[in-house]
Amino acid sequence: MTYLLNSGFLVRVGRVLLVFDDYKDPSHAVDEAVAADDFDQLYVFASHAHFDHFDPHIGLYADAVNQYIFGYDIRHTKRVRAFPQDKVQFLDTYSHWEDEDLSVESFDSTDTGVSFLVTLKQQGVRIFHAGDFNWWDWDGEDRETRKLAENAFRKQMKKLQGLQADVAFFPVDGRLGEQLDKGAKEFCAETDIGALVTMHSVGYPAWQPPAGFFRPGHEVPVWSPREPGEKNVLRDGRLLK
């Protein structure tokens, strides 16, 4: 796994490359991976149309891409017109797409667009990428607004309860102050994941789970990357760095 920026990651599973929410890639990790041509399939995901999750530069990889898989709201942007439409698949919430190698389920977000559960069929690997799904509990908001945010989060968690994944990419956003990890804590408590990779916290110190963050007996390894190009490996359910 290679951190790109914000919520962007390049994930290699065998000879399959998955790119998630790549809006900037300062370390040129995706450029180098595509140029190396050491893969059989390349899938590029964008969870929603926000500028820091979807950028037209990913269209430069079109010749090498098997499929672009985008959240539904991206279809309404001018930026998507430059992509080869025969290689673009838009997913509504709670929808499904698959080919011979990959199965993708979409879930709702508490912001816009979708989150993805990706299953690599041959390898049996499952990856969850939350996009901007989170418990967005902002300091300074009035009580009613904060309650609405909680209700929206908990409503979606009912759909995700019991979800199994080898690794989950989930926001731990420093802008939320003391509430930065509320969503991640609830997500980890109600799902069955092998590892947690935090995202969406550019410019803040690397986060580590505080005491009591995980349910007893359900602790998982955590990676909180900060520098573009930073790498980690998930093997046998363990992060190696």
Above 80 in pLDDT, residue 13? Answer: yes
- What rounded mean pLDDT belongs to the chain? 95
pLDDT value at residue 61: 97
184 burial type by CB count under 10 A (0-12 exposed, 13-18 middle, 19+ buried): buried
The CATH code belonging to domain 2-239 is: 3.60.15.10
Residue 234's pLDDT band, with cuts at 50, 70 and 90, is: confident
pLDDT class of 239 with cuts at 50, 70, 90: confident
Please determine, for residue 237, whether its predicted confidence score (pLDDT) is greater than 90.
no
The order of strands in the sheet holding 114-120 is 96-98, 102-108, 114-120, 125-129, 167-171, 196-199, 222-223
Beta bridge partners, 193, equal: 165
pLDDT band at residue 238 under the 50/70/90 scheme: low
- Write out pLDDT tens, residues 186-222: 999 999 999 999 999 999 999 999 999 998 988 999 9
**Per-residue model confidence as pLDDT tens digits over 125-134:** 999 999 999 9
Q: What is the mean pLDDT of residues 155-184?
A: 96
Each residue's pLDDT tens digit, 140-155: 899 999 999 999 999 9
More confident residue, 236 or 21: 21
- For the chain, domain boundaries: 2-239
pLDDT score at 240: 61
pLDDT at 236: 64
pLDDT tens digits for range 14-34: 999 999 999 999 999 999 999
Model confidence pLDDT, tens digit, residues 51-98: 999 999 999 999 999 999 999 999 999 999 999 999 999 999 999 999
Statement: residue 107 has pLDDT above 80: yes
Please tell me the predicted confidence (pLDDT) of residue 217: 87
